[in-house]
Amino acid sequence: MMNKNSKIYIAGHRGLVGSALLKNLKKQGYQNFVLRTHAELDLTNQEAVADFFTTEKPDYVFLAAAKVGGIMANSTYRGEFIYDNLMIQNNVIHQAWLNGVKKLLFLGSTCIYPREAPQPMSEDSLLSSALEYTNEPYAIAKIAGIKLCENYNLQYGTNFISVMPTNLYGPNDNFDLQKSHVLPALVRKLLLGKYLEESNWDAIRKDIEMRPVNGISELNSANEIEALLESIGIKKENKDGNPAISVEIWGSGKPMREFLWSEDMADACVFIMEKINFDDVVKANPVAVDSGEIRNTHINIGTGREISIGDLARLIKAEVRFRGDLVFNTSKPDGTMRKLTNPSKLRRLGWKHQIEIEEGISKVCQWYASEKKSYSTMNL
């Protein structure tokens, strides 16, 4: 089992998932980390990954690196999503086996489950019917990662465990308005909408300075920035001589989604790495053992609680005190209408989440508004 001096490699340590893992491990006293940025190690490069593992010989690996995004990114970059994720997974998992890694934790996503999977989705729903088309490439890559870990365990005796977190959010999320998931996109758009209705150009320019959009920078004119904001669904109109702001949201707002605070997810992952082995997961599915077919050995990480996209938007709107309108663009796709996990396997193994969505929304909005002291003008 891991000890405080074990050499730990976190692939993707700067992202939402990886940064939460690193923070959790440091808090618990782990201190021997080997870390590489994407610029230092391209995980899609087979030779570079092989050289890294041969040189560093990590004892434990958290595979949190991935190409991720929301419905727009998944629809636009379909080839990149399947290729990049397959390459990252294949390279890291294979080299972990070749170099004697004691244990690996592979992080996937609940989008692996079929579009029409019974709700809430249990691990046994995997491969039972067709996937949601909009994120099929990403889902197929993640399914391949699960099966790679599962079958390396069966053939080579490795101790590689796959976990499937539900939709995550928290500090260091991706707030790119074209590539991010729905929750961080809503946080940013509604904050920008609030700034615009208050004519808070200092806050708007600071936001764009930190995260440029479509080639527009903080140096552009107010008219150019307003045109940019309108192009991403933040629209300014005049009503009865007064400015009125609306924020567009893709789809009907009716799809239901489950969200997990990223630091809860990290706590679950460290719990599994410290206390749960592949044999424990196999035993947790007696039906598979009795049939002689060991499968579906991955573990859901979720809350078992869901909220509609519309209610999520209204929750964020209230938190940031945006007074304008929410406009649901029903010409845009909704994606899967419901995606709720069944986290009972993990609860039987001994872990349950702590942060509910209302508290998490408050925390992530506060974090975004105060990040790097660039948003001190925001009065939350």
Contacts by 282-288 with C-beta closer than 8 Å and gap 24+?
Answer: 284/345, 284/348, 284/349, 285/123, 285/124, 285/345, 287/124
Among 39, 28, 94, residue whose Cα is nearest residue 63 = 94
Task: Please provide the distance, in angstroms rounded to a whole number, between the alpha carbons at the two ends of the chain.
Answer: 44
Q: Reduced to 3 states, what is the DSSP secondary structure of residue 236? A: strand
Whether 113 is catalytic is no
Cα–Cα distances in Å, from 158 out to 140, 161, 164, 270, 304? 23, 9, 19, 18, 30
Are 138 and 111 within 8 A, CB to CB? yes
Q: CA 214, CA 218: separation in Å to the nearest integer?
A: 12
Q: Which of 30, 138, 368, 375 is catalytic?
A: 138
Enumerate residues 6+ apart whose C-beta is below 8 A from 86.
Answer: 141, 144
Q: Is it true that the peptide bond before 120 is cis, omega within 30 degrees of 0?
A: yes
- CA angle in degrees (0–180, nearest 5) for 68-358-185: 30
* Residues labelled as active-site residues: 138
